[in-house]
């Protein structure tokens, strides 16, 4: 016999009905001890209405054993102020009293009665009336109001329901109607469709597009949000948001209470820190037109049992379940980043009493791990779904999901830690079969825990379950497997179904070492039962639930999915066989609207097949057809499409006249709005001359919506009929207004031709069109040159058949559909020759200086342009070039070439380009040089201690190169590297300073030009190859101390400042003095050095005072005083604070 002792350290309560309406009682224990009772209210606090500033009393009477503790709280704030909130107990009346003094705003108060066995909660509302008799609210005046919805009348639909359905998505209809107690809303759709059409017509004036509407919902972040996509007709239109008819103030800051953010065309409205007072009807208006309405409900409901953490293996289902204190049609389920809806992945169910709400996560994968939340009103419950290997200690949930809800792994079903103690073991206890199902499951779960901390007096525990059976859900005709694992590979066991031994008929029993499996190949409804596996006195049970969801034959489904194409007036029919468990609910939809039996809609349904027949179909009946088959185990949908072919609708106007000429009329129109399901192949055109009754058929034209009638009489008016034609027939006609053909009217004269440019082989002309076009467009021009004329289609023409130097005159006439008009006045005489251009150089970045090594080639290219061709000349330093210099000229440039340069070629070269228009010159300095020769011998002379004077002979190249200069470098005996001490020396002497006594110094001098450095100079004193060295001895004078003390003074004084109210202010000054002066700041002759409201610093003589937020008291005179032993100095300024006169506070 095995006995378990379980101690729970954490309890969660269960709901209990109170004797007083409006009171919620929670019991902490499963069974109350004799003589004990949970808290309850025998008299709850009453709602109070009072005026601003008055005292308020709330009184409550409670019961319970032991006597409960009573506490109070507010919805909108704390009650920590003992002067404002006082609580006491009146022993005479046995009343608990809350006294609140000087109330200002309406609020909600809660009273809690708690003892060790439970708690009771009730609420009371405080309404504060201001002097005008209106409820006092804690927000500014001037709130915009909206006309309230009419009140609900007895026996009629609530106007709020119509308002919500008008802007909601179709998928939300059922949920919204359920909130208003309307279970069958299909009869509302006809009136709703009519109201929606009227509303869309009104919305189209301000909104171009409105879709993706999402109702208000509490998000994982704790904010309540609704969103929609909206494109405005006018982006400057005002967007107003109302709550219960009262305008809300909002901004785009998410940290504010109400915010409206826009991303592209998506608008998101959110409410921060949601509380019960935020419940209400929210409406969004653009200008004065309503575009969206949503109802935010915050029920006064709490969690009786929270959802629990869940651990589940891959491909299994995870289950989350909670219990609420009052019936609710639905609650909000969320993950960490999105809300959850009932569908293929998530199954959301509600119990019949609407107190237990369940979320099933199907076919869990690793991506499904994370936090799941349930939200009721403003209360949130969280739990985590974790993935892991198979585990026996987790047990099985009641619905076979394989998920654990805190039972096992050291937790009881309330989430507390469990410690099991095995007292004794003497075989299987027959009394165990008499336990309730819940107790058996708890005991079985604890038997399977491998990681429990247990103390056992028996040394041989026998075989144990490593992993037990798990409840399983299977569909009809599918294979199902039940498995468990023992701690011994040699142990044998037996399988039982509802207490009867299982045999091998249709069932496979497999033993694989310590694993035992029961496999049913083709599951039937009769296989649903409780299966048990027994081995050596150990048992493990699990329930197999067999579901029979709707099933569709693949061949029939493929045939159903094919579109049905019929002609107008014919019938369309769909049939779809199905199978599945009864009862079945069959619904047919067309374009997401449910089809109900009517004159032209016939629906027939049997146990295995459903049929839809639409009679006398018209073009408007085209669309998507859907069948929805549903039973308690699931839902199946199948889609098809109906295409009704018909003749097209009439072509669309307005007709636009493209041309109205003397001999032709051309116009165009828009294609039909509906082509009848097949493309338009032709248009049929008929014509009637105004004043006559006969219509003439002009024939058919291709499917291009334009027509040109070339058989018209000038000045007559015509009317046309246009019909569209496709494979199904001919549409109704579109009739045009009267179209007039043109009359013979010649254009006026163009302007006199203007010569744009003239060259020797071409003359470019331009002119302006005539002011009078003759009523038709200009189709060309006649350009005459003397007596020869040609037709051209541009208002600019280049005459190329001209002779250079010849003079010409030109005139032009315009041509329209009636013919050519009068010619223009001839232009002035123009001569065919190139335009005259003053010489100019093309290259902007031409070099003005070149250095060339002696013996190299010099090549200089100069590009220019000029007309007529210029004369080009070159000179060097103002004299003609030498004979070895070659000049090559062309129409666009000139080249100077010196094959082998010499030093004598150095100089300034000037090119001059000259023609009859003008001339231009350009100078280039060319320097021909070579590596310089070294300077003469180096001599040293020391006349002053610490300095050495160097002198050297000039380089032989000094006279031939005016850019040659000298560079001096030095090295001492302490450093092995040479250091340049002078450069760009154009004389032969230099004095080196900072010479230190006792060191050896080495000097050398280089000649330097544009080619580089010469070899260093060599000392002429000796013929040895080492450098001349010098020893210096310096007598340093004795230093004297200097007195640097000085009285304090200001380098930069304080300056007058002006600062806005509420902003920061910074003032500073620069001071000096030795010893360092002491700095003291004064405001209105009061020292600020010890005032913590001011930040004072003194860094390297810069004294600063910083005011973080300027207030009215900071206005006035500021003074800085400096003091040391030699004297005192001071500086003052005035700080003016702007905005003091109009600043006020809002309370």
What is the CATH code of the structural domain delimited by 754-831?
Answer: 2.60.40.10
What is the CATH code of the structural domain delimited by 837-929?
Answer: 2.60.40.10
**3-class secondary structure, 765:** strand
Do 837-929 and 14-129 fall under one CATH topology?
yes
What is the CATH code of the structural domain delimited by 652-740?
Answer: 2.60.40.10
Cα 107 from Cα 56, distance rounded (Å): 12
Give whole-number Cα distances, 926 to 695, 849, 896, in Å.
93, 6, 11
Residue with the two structure tokens 């040479």 = 978
Structure tokens at 418: 């469990």
Radius of gyration for the alpha carbons in the chain, expressed in angstroms and rounded:
52
**3-class secondary structure, 905:** helix
Give the CB-side neighbour count of residue 681, counting CA atoms within 13 A: 9
Q: What is the DSSP string of 1099-1146?
A: ETTEEEEEESS--GGG-EEEEEEEEETTEEEEEEEEEEEETTTT----
Structure tokens at 1018: 């060599």
**Distance between terminal CA atoms of the chain?**
73
Domain range annotation of the chain? 14-129, 160-296, 303-547, 551-636, 652-740, 754-831, 837-929, 938-1031, 1046-1138
- pTM score above 0.85: no
Question: Do 321 and 356 form a contact (C-beta atoms < 8 A)?
Answer: yes
DSSP E strand stretches across 307-377 = 310-312, 318-324, 332-334, 346-350, 356-361, 370-376
What is residue 561's DSSP assignment? Answer: H
Peptide bond into 868 cis (omega under 30): yes
Measured in degrees and rounded to the nearest 5, phi and psi for residue 167 equal -110, 5
Q: What is the pLDDT of residue 139?
A: 40
Listing from the earlier edge strand, what are the strands of the sheet with 601-605?
551-552, 572-579, 609-614, 601-605
Question: Do 611 and 573 form a contact (C-beta atoms < 8 A)?
Answer: yes
What is the CATH code of the structural domain delimited by 303-547?
Answer: 2.60.40.10
Residue spans of alpha helices (H) in 517-661: 554-561
Question: Do 797 and 755 form a contact (C-beta atoms < 8 A)?
Answer: no
Q: What is the pLDDT of residue 1040?
A: 64
Give whole-number Cα distances, 985 to 928, 943, 963, 988, 1015, in Å.
21, 21, 11, 8, 16
What is residue 366's DSSP assignment? Answer: G
Cα 376 from Cα 374, distance rounded (Å): 7
Cα 1019 from Cα 55, distance rounded (Å): 113
Query: Buried (b) or exposed (e) across 731-749, using 16+ Cβ within 10 A?
Result: bebbebeebebbeebbbeb
Going by C-beta distance under 8 Å and a sequence separation of 6 or more, which residues neighbour residue 165? 173, 176, 177, 188, 192
Cα 843 from Cα 920, distance rounded (Å): 13
**3-class secondary structure, 186:** helix
Q: What is the pLDDT of residue 94?
A: 75
Measured in degrees and rounded to the nearest 5, phi and psi for residue 690 equal -60, 130
Count helices and strands in the chain by DSSP H and E runs: 5, 87
Nearest to 111 by CA among 89, 135, 140: 89
What's the distance, CA 173 to chain centroid? 30
Sign, Cα dihedral of 887, 893, 899, 904: positive
Cα 388 from Cα 403, distance rounded (Å): 11
Cα 904 from Cα 923, distance rounded (Å): 18
Measured in degrees and rounded to the nearest 5, phi and psi for residue 181 equal 80, 15
Cα 495 from Cα 493, distance rounded (Å): 7
Q: What is the pLDDT of residue 748?
A: 84
Sign, Cα dihedral of 606, 607, 611, 612: positive
Structure tokens at 384: 């985590």
Cα 589 from Cα 393, distance rounded (Å): 48
Q: Looking at domain 14-129, which of 2.60.40.10, 3.30.70.20, 3.20.20.80, 3.40.50.360 is its CATH number?
A: 2.60.40.10
Grouped pLDDT means (10 residues each) for the chain, 1147 residues: 37 66 83 88 85 82 91 81 83 80 73 91 80 50 52 65 73 72 65 75 84 83 86 83 83 81 88 83 86 83 85 86 86 82 88 87 86 82 66 35 32 34 32 34 36 32 80 87 89 88 81 90 87 88 88 88 90 90 88 88 89 91 91 88 92 88 87 90 92 90 90 87 92 90 78 82 86 78 63 57 79 79 83 83 87 90 90 93 92 92 91 92 91 88 85 88 88 85 90 86 90 76 38 57 86 90 91 92 90 88 91 91 92 87 41
Question: Do 170 and 186 form a contact (C-beta atoms < 8 A)?
Answer: no
Cα 242 from Cα 269, distance rounded (Å): 12
Q: Domain 1046-1138 in CATH: superfamily?
A: Immunoglobulins (2.60.40.10)
Sign, Cα dihedral of 270, 273, 277, 279: positive
Cα 599 from Cα 606, distance rounded (Å): 21
∠ CA 960-961-963, rounded to 5°: 160
Question: Do 433 and 422 form a contact (C-beta atoms < 8 A)?
Answer: no
Q: What is the pLDDT of residue 115?
A: 92
Q: Looking at domain 160-296, which of 3.30.1490.100, 1.10.10.10, 2.60.40.10, 3.90.1300.10 is its CATH number?
A: 2.60.40.10
Cα 856 from Cα 183, distance rounded (Å): 106
Instruction: Say whether domain 938-1031 belongs to CATH 3.30.390.50.
Output: no
Q: What is the DSSP string of 410-454?
A: TB-TTS-B---------S--GGGGGS-HHHHHHHHHHHT-SS---
Query: Buried (b) or exposed (e) across 334-368, using 16+ Cβ within 10 A?
Result: bbeeebbeeeeebbbeeeeeebebbbbbeebeeeb
- What count of other Cβ atoms lies within 10 Å of the Cβ of residue 782? 17
Instruction: Say whether domain 551-636 belongs to CATH 3.40.50.720.
Output: no
């Amino acid at each position: 016999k095995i006995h378990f002792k379980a101690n729970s350290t954490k309890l969660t309560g269960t709901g209990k009905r109170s004797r007083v309406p409006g009171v919620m009682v929670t019991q902490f224990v499963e069974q109350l001890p004799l003589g004990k009772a949970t808290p309850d209210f025998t008299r709850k606090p009453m709602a109070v209405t009072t005026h601003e500033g008055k005292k308020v009393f709330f009184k409550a009477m409670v019961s319970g054993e032991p006597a409960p503790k009573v506490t109070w709280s507010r919805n909108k704030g704390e009650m920590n102020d003992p002067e404002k909130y006082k609580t006491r107990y009146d022993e005479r009346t046995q009343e608990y009293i809350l006294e609140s003094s000087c109330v200002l705003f309406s609020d909600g108060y809660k009273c809690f009665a708690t003892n060790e066995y439970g708690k009771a909660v009730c609420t009371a509302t405080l309404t504060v009336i201001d002097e005008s008799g209106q409820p006092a609210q804690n927000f500014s005046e001037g709130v915009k109001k909206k006309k309230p919805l009419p009140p609900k009348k007895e026996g009629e639909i609530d106007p709020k329901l119509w308002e919500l359905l008008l802007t909601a998505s179709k998928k939300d209809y059922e949920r919204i109607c359920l909130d208003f107690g309307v279970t069958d809303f299909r009869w509302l759709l006809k009136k709703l469709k009519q109201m929606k059409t009227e509303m869309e017509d009104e919305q189209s004036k301000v909104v171009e597009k409105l879709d993706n509407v999402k109702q208000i919902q509490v998000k994982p972040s704790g904010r309540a949000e609704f969103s929609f996509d909206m494109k405005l007709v006018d982006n400057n239109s005002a967007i107003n948001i109302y709550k219960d008819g009262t305008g809300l103030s909002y901004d785009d800051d998410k940290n504010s209470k109400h915010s409206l953010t826009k991303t592209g065309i998506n608008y998101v409205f959110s409410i921060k820190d949601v509380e019960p007072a935020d419940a209400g009807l929210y409406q969004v208006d653009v200008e004065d037109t309503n575009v969206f309405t949503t109802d935010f409900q915050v029920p006064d409901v709490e969690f009786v049992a929270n959802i629990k953490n869940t651990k589940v293996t891959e491909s299994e289902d995870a289950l989350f379940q909670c219990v609420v204190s009052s019936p609710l049609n639905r609650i909000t389920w969320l993950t960490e980043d999105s809300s959850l809806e009932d569908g293929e992945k998530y199954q959301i169910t509600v119990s019949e009493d609407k107190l237990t709400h369940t979320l099933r996560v199907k076919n869990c994968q690793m991506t499904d791990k994370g936090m799941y939340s349930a939200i009721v009103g403003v209360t949130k419950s969280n739990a985590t779904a974790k993935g892991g290997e198979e585990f026996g200690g987790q047990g099985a949930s009641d619905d076979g999901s394989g998920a654990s809800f805190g039972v096992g792994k050291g937790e009881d079903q309330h989430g507390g830690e469990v410690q099991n103690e095995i007292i004794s073991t003497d075989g299987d206890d027959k009394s165990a079969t008499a336990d309730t199902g819940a107790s058996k499951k708890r005991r079985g779960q604890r038997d399977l825990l491998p990681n429990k901390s247990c103390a056992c007096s028996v040394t041989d525990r026998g075989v144990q379950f490593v992993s037990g059976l798990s409840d399983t859900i299977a569909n009809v005709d599918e294979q199902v497997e039940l498995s468990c694992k023992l701690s011994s590979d040699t142990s044998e066991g037996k399988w039982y179904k509802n207490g009867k031994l299982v045999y091998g008929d249709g069932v496979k029993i497999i033993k694989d070492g310590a694993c035992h499996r029961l496999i049913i190949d083709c599951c039937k409804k009769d296989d649903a039962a409780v299966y048990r596996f027994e081995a050596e006195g150990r048992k493990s049970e699990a329930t197999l639930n067999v579901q029979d969801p709707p099933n569709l034959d693949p061949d029939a489904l493929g045939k159903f999915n094919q579109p049905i194409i019929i002609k107008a007036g014919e019938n369309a029919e769909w049939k779809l066989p199905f199978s599945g468990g009864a009862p079945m609910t069959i619904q047919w939809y067309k374009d997401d609207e449910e089809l109900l039996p009517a004159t032209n809609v016939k629906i027939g349904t049997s146990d295995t097949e459903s049929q839809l027949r639409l009679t006398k179909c018209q073009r408007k009946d085209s669309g998507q057809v859907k069948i929805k088959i549903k039973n308690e185990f699931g839902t199946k949908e199948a889609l098809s499409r109906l295409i009704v072919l018909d003749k097209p609708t009439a072509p669309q106007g307005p007709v636009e006249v493209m041309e109205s000429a003397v001999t032709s009329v051309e116009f165009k129109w828009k294609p039909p709005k509906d082509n009848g399901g097949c493309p338009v192949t032709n248009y049929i055109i008929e014509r009637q001359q105004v004043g006559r009754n006969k219509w003439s058929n002009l024939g058919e034209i291709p499917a291009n919506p334009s027509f040109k009638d070339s058989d018209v009489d000038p000045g007559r008016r015509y009317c046309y009929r246009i019909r569209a034609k496709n494979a199904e027939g001919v549409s109704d006609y579109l009739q045009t207004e009267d179209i007039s053909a043109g009359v013979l009217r010649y254009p006026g004269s163009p302007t006199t031709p203007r010569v744009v440019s003239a060259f020797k082989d071409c003359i470019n002309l331009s002119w302006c069109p005539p002011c009078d076009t003759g009523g038709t467009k200009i189709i060309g021009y006649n350009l005459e040159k003397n007596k020869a004329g040609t037709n051209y289609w541009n208002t600019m023409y280049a005459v190329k058949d001209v002779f250079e130097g010849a003079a010409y005159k030109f005139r032009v006439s315009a041509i329209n559909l009636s013919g050519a008009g009068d010619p223009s006045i001839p232009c002035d005489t123009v001569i065919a020759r190139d335009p005259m251009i003053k010489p100019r150089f093309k290259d902007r970045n031409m070099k003005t200086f070149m250095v060339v090594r002696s013996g190299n080639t010099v090549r200089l290219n100069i590009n220019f342009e000029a007309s007529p061709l210029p004369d080009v000349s070159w000179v060097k330093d103002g004299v003609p070039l030498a004979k070895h210099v070659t000049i090559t000229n062309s129409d666009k440039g000139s080249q100077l070439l010196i094959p082998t340069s010499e030093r004598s070629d150095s100089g300034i070269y000037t090119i001059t380009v000259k023609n009859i228009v003008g001339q231009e010159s350009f100078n280039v300095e060319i320097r021909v040089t070579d590596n310089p020769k070294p300077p003469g011998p180096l001599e040293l002379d020391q006349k002053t201690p610490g300095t050495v004077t160097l002198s050297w002979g000039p380089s032989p190249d000094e006279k031939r190169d005016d850019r040659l200069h000298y560079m001096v470098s030095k090295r001492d005996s302490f450093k092995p590297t040479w250091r340049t001490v002078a450069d760009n020396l154009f004389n032969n002497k230099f004095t080196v300073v900072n010479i230190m006594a006792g060191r050896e110094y080495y000097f050398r001098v280089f000649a330097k030009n544009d080619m580089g450095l010469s070899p260093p100079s060599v000392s002429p004193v000796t013929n040895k190859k080492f450098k001349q060295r010098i020893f210096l001895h310096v007598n340093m004078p004795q230093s004297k101390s200097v007195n640097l003390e000085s009285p304090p003074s200001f380098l930069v004084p304080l300056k007058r400042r002006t600062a806005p109210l509420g902003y920061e202010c910074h003032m500073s000054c620069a001071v000096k003095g030795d010893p360092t002066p002491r700095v003291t700041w004064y405001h209105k002759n009061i020292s600020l050095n010890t005032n913590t409201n001011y930040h004072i610093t003194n860094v390297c003589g810069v004294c600063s005072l910083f005011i973080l937020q300027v207030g009215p008291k900071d206005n006035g005179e500021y003074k800085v005083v400096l003091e040391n032993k030699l004297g005192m100095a001071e500086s003052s300024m005035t700080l003016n604070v702007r905005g003091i006169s109009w600043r006020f506070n809002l309370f």
